[in-house]
């Protein structure tokens, strides 16, 4: 192996003198994303989005005349595994850029590793606000919308569609559940909503009816929830059985109702509204072309993660072409303030905290019979949802 590396280096040096080496050598992008375990469906979308975009870029001649190569490693949704895999990609495979981390802890830990290795990374999935606020890093970019943008978008829509709504909050009783509720509550109160009460149910609750008395006594017109997975299934179906869904608008976090649990919720999901950065139903020509290509390649519709990951390759391509190289410092400069087009519309990378600014959408679920659709019922301009730059490190 050492011998071949030596030979390879010698060949590179020789070619490099002629200025041909960089044209022949592909640009390598490392992808550390969950390929096994609970988060594998998210990792699958990330993989499909990146592969589709890469195929298109390579067919059109690559970036700066160089082909793009993706190297996948399994994150296992565990930061301890993610850092080890990322280090391998940085030091052994010599990747030029890295992406794919899903678990927010993984993104933070891999971001720190990128700093120590002098490389750049981007996340397309992690939505913990910390990544681009108090724990921001000069080497980490986020092309997807963070939690704050999602709740700001939902609050904006709520203020317009149901001004001065009386809101009740029901969240799962753990740190993320509580902080998601707190963030939305703050955003909603700022836009004029009235809070009528809140309750936190243990994760994995079987029976939500014990909270229905409090809920009814508070007489809300809107219920906000940040439950996820099977908890949402039980909450919404039980509310439907008790007839509580009448005259009540249910809104929630973007992970509350997803493609994974919507089938089990069935009709009770009808009318649920959330704030999110993407819906496959977006009626722009760019998105229609993207959805058609995605369906053709993988026989399923893209979700938020697939779309954000697809858009990342466009971001990387635009930045490298602007910088003229993949050198870390010039590339970082090129990425800061960059605007690029994605199926979700134009995104802009804010220079101050490396958070992408994008239009946000209020999406309503239409569960009428067989097919479920995520209809776009409102658009919130990027500037209204982004919030202030809270990163002080750079």
Partner 1 sequence: MPEATLRSLSDPGRAGPASRLSRLAPVHWLALAFLAAALGFAAVAWATGNGFYLRLATEALIFAGLAMSVDLLLGYTGLLSLGQALYFGLGAYVSALVLRDVAPSFWLAMAAALLAGGVAGLIGGVIANRVKGVYFALITFGLAQVAAKSVYNTRALGASDGLIGIPQVSIGFGPFSLDTADPLSFFLLVLGLTVAAYAGLAYLMDAPFGRTLAAIRANEKRVPFLGFNAWRYKLAVYVLAACVAALAGALYPMLRGFVSPELMFFETSGNAVITVIVGGVGTLVGPVVGSLLLTALRSVVGSWTEHHLIVVGVIFMLSVIFLRKGLVGALLARLGRRSEQGRATP
Whose Cβ is closer to partner 1: residue 44's or residue 249's?
Answer: 44
Q: Which residues, other chains included, contact 10 with Cβ-Cβ below 8 Å and sequence gap of 6+?
A: none
Q: Between residue 121 and residue 140, which ones bind partner 1 under the rule CB under 8 A?
A: 128, 130, 135
How many residues are recorded in the chain? Answer: 394
Whose Cβ is closer to partner 1: residue 96's or residue 359's?
Answer: 96
Q: Between residue 29 and residue 68, which ones bind partner 1 under the rule CB under 8 A?
A: 35-36, 40
74 in contact with partner 1 (CB under 8 A): yes
11, 174, 189, 284: residue in contact with partner 1 (rule CB under 8 A): 174
Could you tell me the sign of the dihedral formed by the alpha carbons of 93, 94, 100, 102, in that order? Answer: positive
SS3 state at 121: strand
Q: Pick the piece of the chain touching partner 1 (CB under 8 A) from 53-61, 153-161, 172-180, 246-254.
A: 172-180
116, 164, 190, 219: residue in contact with partner 1 (rule CB under 8 A): 116
Q: Pick the piece of the chain touching partner 1 (CB under 8 A) from 72-80, 153-161, 248-256, 321-329.
A: 72-80
360 in contact with partner 1 (CB under 8 A): no
Whose Cβ is closer to partner 1: residue 84's or residue 209's?
Answer: 84
Whose Cβ is closer to partner 1: residue 200's or residue 212's?
Answer: 200
Please list the residues that pair with 353 across neighbouring strands: none
4, 17, 59, 175: residue in contact with partner 1 (rule CB under 8 A): 175
Q: Pick the piece of the chain touching partner 1 (CB under 8 A) from 175-183, 211-219, 355-363, 381-389.
A: 175-183
How far apart (Å, rounded) are the C-alpha atoms in residues 125 and 100?
7
Q: Please report how close the Cβ of residue 118 comes to partner 1 at its closest, in angstroms.
A: 13
Contact 386, 375 (CB under 8 A): no
| x-or-dash string of contact with partner 1, 76-115, rule CB under 8 A | --xxx--xxx-xx--xx-----------xx--xx-xxx--
Contact 258, 281 (CB under 8 A): no
Cα distances from 344 to residues 68, 257, 287, 391, in angstroms, run 23, 20, 7, 25
Long-range contacts of 35-40 (CB under 8 A, 24+ apart): 35/72, 35/74, 35/75, 36/74, 36/76, 37/76, 37/77, 38/77, 39/75, 39/77, 39/102, 39/103
Q: Please report how close the Cβ of residue 74 comes to partner 1 at its closest, in angstroms.
A: 5
Whose Cβ is closer to partner 1: residue 60's or residue 92's?
Answer: 92
Question: Could you write out the three-class secondary structure of 127-172?
Answer: CCHHHHCCCCCCCEEECCCCHHHHHHHHHHHHHHHCCCCEEEEEEE
Q: Please report how close the Cβ of residue 11 comes to partner 1 at its closest, in angstroms.
A: 18
How far apart (Å, rounded) are the C-alpha atoms in residues 198 and 159?
19
336 in contact with partner 1 (CB under 8 A): no
Whose Cβ is closer to partner 1: residue 89's or residue 251's?
Answer: 89
Cα distances from 40 to residues 88, 103, 128, 319, in angstroms, run 21, 12, 19, 29
How far apart (Å, rounded) are the C-alpha atoms in residues 284 and 292?
12
Residues that bind partner 1 (CB under 8 A): 2, 35-36, 40, 72-74, 78-80, 83-85, 87-88, 91-92, 104-105, 108-109, 111-113, 116, 128, 130, 135, 174-176, 179
């Amino acid at each position: 192996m050492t011998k071949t590396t030596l030979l390879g280096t010698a060949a590179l040096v020789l070619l490099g003198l002629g200025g041909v080496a960089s044209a022949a050598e592909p640009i390598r992008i490392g992808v550390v994303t969950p390929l096994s375990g609970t988060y594998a469906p998210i990792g699958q979308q990330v993989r499909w989005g990146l592969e589709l975009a890469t195929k298109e870029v390579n067919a059109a001649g690559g970036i700066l005349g160089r082909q793009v190569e993706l190297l996948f490693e399994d994150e296992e949704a565990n930061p301890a595994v993610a850092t080890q895999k990322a280090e391998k990609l940085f030091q052994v495979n010599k990747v030029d850029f890295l992406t794919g981390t899903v678990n927010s802890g993984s993104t933070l830990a891999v971001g720190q590793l990128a700093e120590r290795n002098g490389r750049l990374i981007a996340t397309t999935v992690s939505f913990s606000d910390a990544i681009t606020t108090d724990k921001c890093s000069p080497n980490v970019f986020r092309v997807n919308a963070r939690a704050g943008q999602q709740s700001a978008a939902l609050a904006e829509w709520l203020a317009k569609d149901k001004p001065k709504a009386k809101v009740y909050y029901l969240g799962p009783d753990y740190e993320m559940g509580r902080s998601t509720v707190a963030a939305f509550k703050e955003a909603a109160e700022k836009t004029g909503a009235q809070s009528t009460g809140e309750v936190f149910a243990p994760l994995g609750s079987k029976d939500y009816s014990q909270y229905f008395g409090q809920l009814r006594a508070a007489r809300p017109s809107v219920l906000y929830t940040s439950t996820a997975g099977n908890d949402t299934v039980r909450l919404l179906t039980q509310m439907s059985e008790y007839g509580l869904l009448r005259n009540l608008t249910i809104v929630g976090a973007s992970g509350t109702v997803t493609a994974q649990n919507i089938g089990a919720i069935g009709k009770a999901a009808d009318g649920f509204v959330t704030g999110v950065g993407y819906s496959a139903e977006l009626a722009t020509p760019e998105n229609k072309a993207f959805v058609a290509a995605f369906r053709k390649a993988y026989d399923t519709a893209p979700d938020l993660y697939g779309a954000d990951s697809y858009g990342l390759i466009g971001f990387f391509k635009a930045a490298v072409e602007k910088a003229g190289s993949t050198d870390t410092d010039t590339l970082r400069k090129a990425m800061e303030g960059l605007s690029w087009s994605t199926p979700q519309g134009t995104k802009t990378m804010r220079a101050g905290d490396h958070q992408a600014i994008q239009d946000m959408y209020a999406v309503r679920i239409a569960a009428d019979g067989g097919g479920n659709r995520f209809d776009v019922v409102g658009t919130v301009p990027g500037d209204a949802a982004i919030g202030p730059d809270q990163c002080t490190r750079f």
